[in-house]
A and B are shown apart, each in its own frame.
Chain A
Amino acid sequence: MDEHKKYPNKLGIIGWLGGGRWGIERYLYTLHRITGLGILLYFCLHIFVTSSRLFGMNAWEKWMGFFKSPIFKMGEFLVFVGFAFHALNGIRLILIEFGFAVGKAEEPVYPYKSSLNTQRPLMVIVMVVAAVLIVAGGYQFLGFVH
């Protein structure tokens, strides 16, 4: 059979995004990556910007004034949203990946219930908490914009 050429049918990065008849955990997986990358970028810049405190009050106030424009406030709010999601979803993932929230092996009986059903209440709880955090954070950020 090896003399025939075959067509490589990898989904590539599109496969990370999912789409179609996929479950909700797949979208959380994609979001977790995107927010993680965003936070890492912010974090590296954050280290440099906050280092400006060494150059005294004027340098610090200059930077902080620069970041008070509404665009940067929105950007900061996005980082906060990313953080809230990443943190809460991270709690869920830690519980799952250390094997606490996936339940025990059981005899499969149709219609099949999987570990996804076992962890779903946890998923709902952490997403609700994340939403509450985001709203609370939004209250603070809006206070600065206006």
Chain B
Amino acid sequence: MAKKTQKETDIIFYIHRFNPDVDSKPYTQKYTIRVEPGMTVLDGLHLIKETQDATLSYRFSCRMGVCGSCGMLLNGRPSLACNTQILDITMKNLTVAPLPNFNIVKDLVPELTPLFEKHISIHPYVIQNKTDEMLDPTGEFYQSPEELTKYLQFSYCIKCGLCMAACPTLATDSEYLGPQPMLQSYRYSIDTRDDGFDKRKKVVGNTHGVFRCHYAGECSNVCPKGVDPARAIQLMKRELVLDYLKIKKHRSTSFIMGKPEGVKRRPEIPKAPPFTVEQK
């Protein structure tokens, strides 16, 4: 964004309103507020709620782009309201709508349940074959920095649902998994501690799975954390195809790094306090 000389401006907010108890479909309401440089859209919504209309509903929590609660459609583009400065995207009118491709609960609040249900369906956790080790650990699973880099980018996802709102396939196909869950399936499958690829490929390799992505690329454009779901989905496709053609290189799983031997405790480090619960 180019540096502009910004000063206080009157901005007209066109906010989509919907009250399930009263309205049959959403309508637009107009508010005008005085916007200072540096004000985010969320600040603007707060100002409207405080000074003009207390019935306005929107979801927010951390107001610093970490929790992923305040995803909204700002001038036709899914963005985090707390992460977007008003004067960066408009000098006159601002349309604020709830995220598309989700049901509207009220005003600007989308129902994110489908996102989380799909997220759960791809087993978003490390699946280990070494069950004995999992129940009774003897050491740590070793992972090199290179192995970490392969999935670290994809683990920064905050599950705000912006990618799901931007995806053209999800606009018509509600069974489609969507960028976020497929990103997670790659993030866990590529993790060297994980053995769950065979379990996940059944979910992401089905009719409404990873192959319904045609790289419109919008998910990566709107992602507020630079997580790049489009890249993960293409890499997941590659894994699935290599697996089908039986030319997938066998990836070694992490070995268990035992406790270091022959090391003395440094005297300045105090001993751990005694257990407060009885040991088996």
User: Which residues on A are within 8 Å of B, measured CB to CB?
Assistant: 1, 4-16, 18-23, 25-26, 29-30, 32-33, 93, 96-99, 102-110, 112-116, 118
Contacts and interface: CB of A to CB of B under 8 A. Distances in A.
Contacts of B238: 97-99
B205 interface: no
Given A5-B20, A93-B214, A102 B231 contact: yes
Nearest to A18: B168
A16 B167 CA distance: 9
Given A98-B241, A105-B150, A114 B223 contact: yes
Interface residues of B, number: 51
Given A6-B104, A7-B103, A16-B168, 5 more contacts: A29-B215, A102-B231, A108-B226, A114-B220, A116-B221
B103 A6 contact: yes
Interface string B158-195: 00000000001011101000000000000000000000
Contact of B149 (A13, A22, A107, A114): A107
Interface residue SS majority, chain A = loop
18 contacts: A5-B20, A7-B26, A9-B99, A9-B100, A18-B216, A25-B215, A26-B168, A26-B218, A33-B214, A105-B149, A105-B152, A106-B153, A107-B152, A110-B226, A112-B226, A114-B221, A114-B226, A116-B220
B235 A11 contact: no
A105 to B, nearest CB: 4
Residue from A5, A11, A107 whose CB has the most chain B CB atoms within 10 Å:
A11
A9 B101 contact: yes
Contacts of B154: 105
B133 interface: no
A116 B100 contact: no
Nearest to A11: B171
Nearest to A109: B226
Contacts of B156: 108
Across chains A and B, which 10 residue pairs bring their CB atoms closest together, nearest first? A15-B171, A108-B226, A112-B226, A20-B76, A99-B238, A115-B231, A11-B171, A114-B220, A25-B217, A6-B103
Contacts of B232: 105
B58 interface: no
Nearest to B239: A99
Interface string B99-129: 1111111100011000000000000000000
B77 interface: yes
Contacts of A113: 226
B13 interface: no
A87 to B, nearest CB: 16
A15 B21 contact: no
Given A7-B25, A99-B238, A106-B153, A20 B226 contact: no
Contacts of B223: 112, 114
A28 to B, nearest CB: 8
